[in-house]
Amino acid sequence: MQRSHITAFVAGLIFGIGLLLAGMANPAKVLAFLDIAGHWDPSLALVMGGAIPVSAIGFYLTRHRKAPLFSASFQVPTNRKLDKRLVLGALGFGVGWGLAGFCPGPALVALGTGSLKAVVFVAAMLSGMVIFEMLERQKPD
């Protein structure tokens, strides 16, 4: 197994454990966080508040490196344009998150716990990905 695969596995494992500890894999907790007009649970704001500075430091450090430790180059998006696809994708993500209480990472973590809601969500997510790919292939270049 390559060193980059081991690194990715360890990083994913740490991320998954963090999601479980933070409650992000619990749809009820996420929905309570999103329910600002009802019984709002602000605790996930602390999770996000802690994640933003850590991410900012990581992005800052990447500016001063030519390549990551286990790859030839960084794979950073270069498109900075706000277009219809981005806005519709963000809206779809937000609506799905609000309806289900899952986003992709926590859904995969919850899938590992045997949650039926996670199974349904991941099946729907994968179906959406397949449909998207099929539609993209039908587009003229």
Alpha helices in 80-115 (DSSP H): 84-100, 104-111
Q: What angle do CA 95, 100, 105 make, to 5 degrees?
A: 90
Domain boundaries, the chain: 3-138
For helices 84-100 and 27-34, the axis angle rounded to 10 degrees is: 120
pLDDT at position 30 is 87
Contacts of 79 (CB under 8 A, 6+ apart): none
Which tens digit of pLDDT belongs to each residue from 61-114? 888 888 887 788 888 788 889 999 899 989 988 898 888 888 888 899 889 888
Contact between 32 and 39 under an 8 Å Cβ cutoff? The reply is: yes
